[in-house]
Amino acid sequence: MKKVVLAYSGGLDTSVCVRWLTDKGYTVIAVIADIGQKVDFAKLRERAISAGAKEIYVADLKKRFVEEFILPTLKAEGVYQGYYLATALSRPLIAQKVVEIAYREKAEYLAHGCTGKGNDQVRFELSWKLLSPQLKVIAPVREWEFKSRDEEMEYAREKGLDLNLERLTYSIDENLWGVSIECGELEDAGKKPPADAWQITHLESRRDPVRLKIEFDQGIPVALDEKRMEAGEIIVRLNEIGKEYAIGRKDLIEDRVVGIKSRELYEAPSAEILYIAHHSLETLVFDKDTLDFKHLVSLKYGELVYKGLWFSPLRGFLDRFVEATQKKVSGEVEIELHPQVCQVIGRKSRYSLYDRDLATYGQGSKFESRWAEGFIKILSMGLRKID
């Protein structure tokens, strides 16, 4: 019997994939990744079984997600067209887990339930090609005969699958780094998103501001309001607080890898707060050239993650550069949250390059104003003829 390991999310597509692959003569092993999405894993397990999966793995990948994927990206400040990459970052991790299980189960096939129009197929398959090129890939959604969700539902009914799926208005992808929302009414890019499109954040304009203190050690968040916590706990906590202020809400048009522009909503309170805090610390401790160069690195890093190139050599090289810069990204940042605003109100570091005695406009500055005269003269020399 041919064995296939499928990245199973529990939605309609992957559930129909299980049945479709079984009908084609495969033994299906479903892998469910727990990366902090709020779902009932017992229910997903049952759904996979009812669809025909022979074996189900529920893998708790939260710690690995934080340590091996989120933190390196936060240190790099990787971002793609304003998007903090929650979905994009989870794919290489799930791909890696699927390969691990394929080895354990001695399967020769890997499968995902992504469509031919999206980025996720690229992320899974590039990861698989780089990790384990000898395993063969099946992408049922790209191949099968169903042309719409309704046709998939019809097939599921015919086959007697008890999917018990709520009729969903949007396509939602969630993990602990953020939520991505698309489809339905959101496809009209000219129209304001309906209020029910936002899944975790609330917007209440009359909320009192709240102050938070975040401590970083070498680029990693290590304490919140002076309490030491694991980075994963800080992320969960900041999501809880930030969602009440609708922090990290974005309504973006993005360029997909496959050349399509799409409209997507994002909610990522924790990512927004941590990126802002992390960056403010970098502005304090980096010299200007490092700061400018690191900006280029964030753009490239974000692009690699978005395009599914997590396991590429360049991402590894960039990590080494970023790691070297983070030695000094230690200190404390104070933040004030207002509805939809995350404001830095103070920052401190023992590596600070900010020198009050130089910067002050008050008495006793170390900076001698007369130095400026010669400096400006020299600067102007290449621009005009000297008399």
Active site residues: 13, 91, 120, 171
Please tell me whether residue 330 binds ligand ARG under the rule CB under 6 A. no
Please tell me whether residue 312 binds ligand ARG under the rule CB under 6 A. no
Please tell me whether residue 171 binds ligand ARG under the rule CB under 6 A. yes
Stretch of residues binding ligand ARG (CB under 6 A), selected from 21-29, 54-62, 165-173, 376-384: 165-173
Among 18, 181, 277, 318, which residue sits at the site for ligand ARG (rule: CB under 6 A)? 181
Length of the chain as a residue count: 387
Tokens of 360: 């002050």
The nearer residue to ligand ARG, 11 or 269, going by C-beta atoms, is: 11
**H/E run at residue 25:** none
CA distance 109 to 357: 65
Stretch of residues binding ligand ARG (CB under 6 A), selected from 8-16, 125-133, 135-143, 179-187: 179-187
Interaction residues for ligand ARG, span 101-120 (CB under 6 A): 119
End-to-end CA distance of the chain: 89
Smallest distance from the beta carbon of 153 to ligand ARG, in angstroms? 18
The nearer residue to ligand ARG, 96 or 119, going by C-beta atoms, is: 119
The nearer residue to ligand ARG, 180 or 349, going by C-beta atoms, is: 180
Total H helices, total E strands in the chain: 14, 14
Please tell me whether residue 73 binds ligand ARG under the rule CB under 6 A. no
Q: How do beta strands 220-224 and 227-228 pair?
A: antiparallel
| Max Cα distance, the chain (Å) | 92
* Residues whose CB is less than 8 angstroms from the CB of residue 353 and which lie 6 or more positions away in sequence, other chains included: 284, 285, 286, 287
Smallest distance from the beta carbon of 119 to ligand ARG, in angstroms? 4
CA distance 221 to 277: 9
The nearer residue to ligand ARG, 196 or 355, going by C-beta atoms, is: 196
The nearer residue to ligand ARG, 194 or 209, going by C-beta atoms, is: 194
* Residues whose CB is less than 8 angstroms from the CB of residue 165 and which lie 6 or more positions away in sequence, other chains included: 11, 12, 15
The nearer residue to ligand ARG, 124 or 216, going by C-beta atoms, is: 124
Please tell me whether residue 88 binds ligand ARG under the rule CB under 6 A. yes
Structure letter (DSSP) for residue 80: B
Helix/strand/coil percent split, the chain, to 5? 45, 20, 35
Neighbours of 259 (CB within 10 A): 7
Among 67, 182, 233, 319, which residue sits at the site for ligand ARG (rule: CB under 6 A)? 182
Among 13, 173, 267, 282, which residue sits at the site for ligand ARG (rule: CB under 6 A)? 173
Please tell me whether residue 131 binds ligand ARG under the rule CB under 6 A. no
Among 14, 27, 73, 87, which residue sits at the site for ligand ARG (rule: CB under 6 A)? 87
Size of residue set near ligand ARG by CB under 6 A: 10
For CA atoms 35, 39, 45, 49, give the dihedral sign. Answer: negative
Site string for ligand ARG, 235-274 (x = CB under 6 A): -----------------------------x----------
Beta bridge partners of 80: 83
The nearer residue to ligand ARG, 88 or 246, going by C-beta atoms, is: 88
Which amino acid does the sequence have at 91? R
Buried b (16+ CB within 10 A) or exposed e, 327-363: ebbbbbbbbebeeeebebeebebeeeeeeeeeeeeee
Point out which residues bind ligand ARG (CB under 6 A): 87-88, 119, 171-173, 180-182, 264
